[in-house]
């Protein structure tokens, strides 16, 4: 009987430590050291939350830069990839459809190589970034859709260059651009 009470106290102590104290401590430290990230990295424009810098969102309007494809339809609740391998016929069909749609929406691309991040979804399905090459590929479409004259193309190229985020700590990942930040900056120069 003594062993049962010791076991019950141990289960209660561990439950409190790992189920209550630890989560509260981590949340408090996160709020203290990284308040923006802990709050979801929400982006506020004029008192209206327009999105999160951490979660990609669908952008179908041709006047805006398009994000990476999402296997979850940009729904953060079931985030994840499609779990299809490169030999999957379904994945190959989806990639072919994405390539055709990219070429149709960006005729200046022609038969050139497309950036992989515009064809393949990320592992989470919610990646908010694209490569600088993926952004540059879309410039001609945006110039045309917004009715910019040819001189504004250089302005868009400069905008892309100004928003490139370097690899984390200089060596983790690759240079990238947050699509939401880029689109908001694009609206600002309109």
Number of domains in the chain: 2
Residues 81 and 25 reside in one and the same domain: no
Specify if 45 maps to a domain: no
Which H helix or E strand runs over 129? strand 129-130
Distance separating alpha carbons of residues 69 and 125, to the nearest angstrom: 7
pLDDT the model gives residue 31: 94
Residues 57 and 35 reside in one and the same domain: no
Residues 34 and 82 reside in one and the same domain: no
Could you read off the pLDDT of 25-83 as tens digits, one per residue? 999 999 999 999 898 899 999 899 999 998 888 888 999 999 999 888 888 777 777 77
Residues 58 and 98 reside in one and the same domain: yes
Specify if 44 maps to a domain: no
Specify if 92 maps to a domain: yes
Specify if 46 maps to a domain: no
1 HSE (CA, 13 A, CB side): 0
Where in the sequence is the domain holding 32, given as residue range(s)? 1-39
pLDDT the model gives residue 179: 95
Cα-Cα-Cα-Cα dihedral of 102, 72, 60, 133, to 10°? -50
Could you read off the pLDDT of 104-145 as tens digits, one per residue? 888 878 777 889 999 988 888 888 999 999 999 999 999 999
Residues 26 and 80 reside in one and the same domain: no
Residues 92 and 153 reside in one and the same domain: yes
| C-alpha distances in Å from residue 4, one per residue of 8, 10, 15, 16, 17 | 6, 10, 16, 18, 20
Res 188 pLDDT > 80: yes
DSSP-derived letter for residue 115 is P
Specify if 120 maps to a domain: yes
Residues 74 and 153 reside in one and the same domain: yes
Specify if 158 maps to a domain: yes
* CA 172 to chain CA centroid, nearest Å: 16
Identify the residue with better confidence: 89 or 109.
89
Tokens representing 130 are: 């694209």
Has this prediction a pTM greater than 0.95? Answer: no
Residues 23 and 77 reside in one and the same domain: no
Res 161 pLDDT > 90: yes
Q: Residue 58, SS3?
A: coil
Res 175 pLDDT > 80: yes
Tokens representing 176 are: 């990238």
Specify if 135 maps to a domain: yes
Res 148 pLDDT > 80: yes
Residues 89 and 149 reside in one and the same domain: yes
Residues 89 and 177 reside in one and the same domain: yes
Residues 58 and 19 reside in one and the same domain: no
Distance separating alpha carbons of residues 150 and 148, to the nearest angstrom: 7
């Amino acid at each position: 009987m003594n062993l049962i009470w010791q076991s019950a106290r141990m289960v209660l102590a561990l439950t409190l430590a790992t189920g209550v104290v630890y989560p509260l401590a981590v949340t408090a430290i996160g709020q203290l050291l990284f308040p923006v990230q802990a709050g979801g990295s929400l982006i506020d424009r004029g008192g209206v939350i327009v999105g999160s810098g951490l979660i990609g969102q669908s952008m179908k309007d041709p006047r805006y830069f398009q994000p990476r494809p999402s296997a979850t339809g940009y729904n953060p609740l079931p985030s994840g990839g499609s779990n299809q391998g490169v030999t999957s016929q379904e994945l190959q069909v989806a990639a072919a459809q994405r390539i055709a749609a990219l070429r149709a929406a960006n005729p200046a691309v022609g038969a050139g190589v497309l950036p992989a991040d515009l064809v393949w979804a990320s592992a989470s399905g919610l990646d908010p970034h694209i490569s600088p090459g993926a952004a540059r590929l879309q410039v001609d479409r945006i110039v045309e859709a917004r009715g910019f004259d040819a001189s504004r193309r250089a302005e868009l190229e400069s905008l892309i260059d100004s928003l490139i985020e370097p690899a984390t700590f200089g060596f983790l990942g690759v240079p990238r651009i947050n699509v939401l930040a880029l689109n908001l900056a694009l609206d600002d120069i309109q």
